[in-house]
Structure 1
Amino acid sequence: MPAHRLKIGLSACFSHADPTRPLFTNKTLQYVEQSIAHWLMSAGAMVVMVPCPTGETARGDVKLSHYAEWLDGVVMHGGADVWPGSYGEEPLRDAWIGDRVRDLYDLAVVEAFVQAGKPIFGVCRGMQLINVAFGGTLYQDIEEQHGHPETLRHRDAETYDRNYHEVEIVQGSRLSHLYRGVLRGRVNSIHHQAVKRLAEGFAIEAWSLPDRVPEAMRRQGGSYIAATQWHPEFREEEANTLDDTPLLMDFMAACNAAKAHPPKPRHSLPGHLRDRAARLLRQALLMRR
């Protein structure tokens, strides 16, 4: 029955107003990528996009906190680069300027779900954004900044989701419990930014090989927050990549637990969470500035 299914939020991607676009000319689009919605639906969940409530066409009084109270969990999915200003840096190149408006929205979504005590799972940009939300920083570009003598090419525009590398799972972590007996796995790699300084209260659960870029992270204590740098929803069995099922089931179990025993909303947030996001978001228009 629909009433018994989990309701999982999915953060929105943005296509900003563009006067040259032939369809929806000069209109802001919010959308989700099909694969990740279907991934969540494969576990029987009802997937709901969480639209940004602010912008030049905003009406009504719906807030992100209303979604956080109503939904059982949220997934922060991939997309544009994170704006370096979100973690106190200047873009080193114009190409790495990212999407400031989406950052404000995503940070506010994380803030709302943390305050509601609901589970959060991040994918690719989602992992980077969660790290930034809790005070961490990013490599603006792995190849230019990471400095390992065997730095991998973590993003290939031609092969896209068929660009692969190995990861090493940190033994003793929750991830190693999910993948018992697995020391290494193969994953897709579609990013050029990555976690640099890890946020306080989190632990790395997987590293890329051989260059040791963070590939999975999890909050230690507090409400459930976990993330992977790879896209589990893009998995293809013939590519012999790490099974996505344990990750999905772990997140769903956390959402079921939150549904069965609703957490008490927090009236205050952890001091290291960038809790200015909702206030800034209310001031922001859905357009680049």
Structure 2
Amino acid sequence: MFAPRRLKIGLSACFQHADPSRSLFTNKTLQYVEQSIAHWIMSAGAMVVMVPCPTGDTARGDVTLDHYAEWLDGVVMHGGADVWPGNYGEEPLRQEWLGDRVRDLYDLAVVKAFAQARKPIFGVCRGLQLINVAFGGALYQDLQEQHPGAQLHRNASTYDQHFHDIELVPGTRLAQLYPDKPSARVNSIHHQGIKRVAPDFVVEAFSLPDRVPEAIRLSPGPGRGYIAATQWHPEFHQAGSQTLDDTAILNDFLTACVAAQPGTFGGVHTPLHLRDRASRLLRKAIKSKK
């Protein structure tokens, strides 16, 4: 355990939107967490709290994401659906790459709230892509179609048993966590990827041999908190397997959460310019689903 009290770590919600054809919870919006990522965070003794979207047609009360960011010690951004290309200034090339605009706006608002509260943020898969977009980066809508020479990064049949190698960038924090591993093997469950890295972020790992960014981190600086992400799912690592051990990554994030507890920062907010339309547009986007 990382502190005299157990850490409270937020986990962003996944969405299943209202569906009149669904036999269970008919026409109700579901927000949920995937079991293995919750258990991954809990494996180090931290408690996990899902951060529900506070808006929607059933919304009541005055609880906001800012309240969650103030109360919790950090947040992990889930994997899941594609990021809508409009969030980085592009038109979708295919209908199936539209992503989930409602979830995008919710996730952008979560990142904004925790960044402004100076609470650590860690992203997994979609979480990495969303963080990159939130801070001004862009994505390949499909690596196979848009990235020359890209290897297969997602296999629907093998799913989390599809792997490739990565190169850790020397001198980065991730490389320091694995000093004896200039390269490693990781799972690969994505078809989108980083095309342009967000300003003030550094790439900490590339896929081999096609060099797609596989890990990013916010560069240290005045007024900046801990923000890091991996394109692979560290929570899917199995003890004894040949994939990169997730322990150092989780411990690094939770150590940052301890350091970010009240009193450490003196209330200073991040100067980074997040895309600030999320709170206003989230309610509008959810209403448009009705």
The normalised TM-score by structure 1 is 0.95
Superposed CA deviations along residues 200-251 of structure 1, whole A, max 9, x for unmatched, are: 0000000000000000000002100000000000012343100000000000
In structure 2, C-alpha distance between the alignment counterparts of 1:226 and 1:250, rounded to whole Å: 10
The residue matched to 2:286 in structure 1 has which SS?
coil
Residue 52 (structure 2) aligns with: 51
Within 5 Å, give how 1:124-273 maps onto structure 2.
Answer: 124-148=125-149, 151-221=150-220, 222-259=224-261, 261-266=263-268, 269-271=271-273, 273=274
In structure 1, C-alpha distance between the alignment counterparts of 2:267 and 2:285, rounded to whole Å: 26
In structure 1, C-alpha distance between the alignment counterparts of 2:268 and 2:190, rounded to whole Å: 34
Root mean square deviation, CA, Å:
1.7
Shift of 1:132: 0.3
Does the 8 Å CA contact 1:269/1:275 hold for their aligned counterparts? Answer: no
Does the 8 Å CA contact 1:77/1:125 hold for their aligned counterparts? Answer: yes
In structure 1, C-alpha distance between the alignment counterparts of 2:120 and 2:283, rounded to whole Å: 24
Letter in 2 for 1:143: Q
In structure 2, C-alpha distance between the alignment counterparts of 1:251 and 1:70, rounded to whole Å: 17
Name the count of aligned residue pairs: 286
In structure 2, C-alpha distance between the alignment counterparts of 1:43 and 1:238, rounded to whole Å: 18
Superposed CA deviations along residues 137-159 of structure 1, whole A, max 9, x for unmatched, are: 000000000112xx211000000
259-268 or 13-22: which moved more? 259-268
Does the 8 Å CA contact 2:118/2:270 hold for their aligned counterparts? Answer: no
In structure 2, C-alpha distance between the alignment counterparts of 1:269 and 1:51, rounded to whole Å: 26
In structure 2, C-alpha distance between the alignment counterparts of 1:91 and 1:266, rounded to whole Å: 38
Does the 8 Å CA contact 1:119/1:258 hold for their aligned counterparts? Answer: yes
**In the alignment, structure 1 residue 116 sits paired with structure 2 residue 87:** no
Change (3 A) 1:40 1:286: farther
Shift of 1:285: 1.7
Identity %: 69
Does the 8 Å CA contact 1:72/1:255 hold for their aligned counterparts? Answer: yes
In structure 1, C-alpha distance between the alignment counterparts of 2:267 and 2:148, rounded to whole Å: 42
Q: Structure 2 regions of 5+ residues with no counterpart?
A: none
Shift of 1:119: 0.2
Change (3 A) 1:268 1:39: closer
**In the alignment, structure 1 residue 275 sits paired with structure 2 residue 285:** no
Letter in 1 for 2:230: T
Does the 8 Å CA contact 1:163/1:188 hold for their aligned counterparts? Answer: yes
Does the 8 Å CA contact 2:225/2:270 hold for their aligned counterparts? Answer: no
Q: Structure 1 regions of 5+ residues with no counterpart?
A: none
Shift of 1:288: 3.7
Change (3 A) 1:3 1:60: farther
Residue 70 (structure 2) aligns with: 69
Change (3 A) 1:25 1:246: same
The residue matched to 1:259 in structure 2 has which SS?
coil
In structure 2, C-alpha distance between the alignment counterparts of 1:48 and 1:265, rounded to whole Å: 23
Shift of 1:283: 3.3
Shift of 1:86: 1.0
Letter in 2 for 1:253: T
The normalised TM-score by structure 2 is 0.95
Change (3 A) 1:226 1:3: same
Does the 8 Å CA contact 2:115/2:270 hold for their aligned counterparts? Answer: no
Change (3 A) 1:229 1:77: same
Letter in 2 for 1:49: M
In structure 2, C-alpha distance between the alignment counterparts of 1:110 and 1:38, rounded to whole Å: 22
In structure 1, C-alpha distance between the alignment counterparts of 2:82 and 2:289, rounded to whole Å: 14
Letter in 1 for 2:286: L
Change (3 A) 1:116 1:260: closer
The residue matched to 1:126 in structure 2 has which SS?
helix
Change (3 A) 1:287 1:246: farther
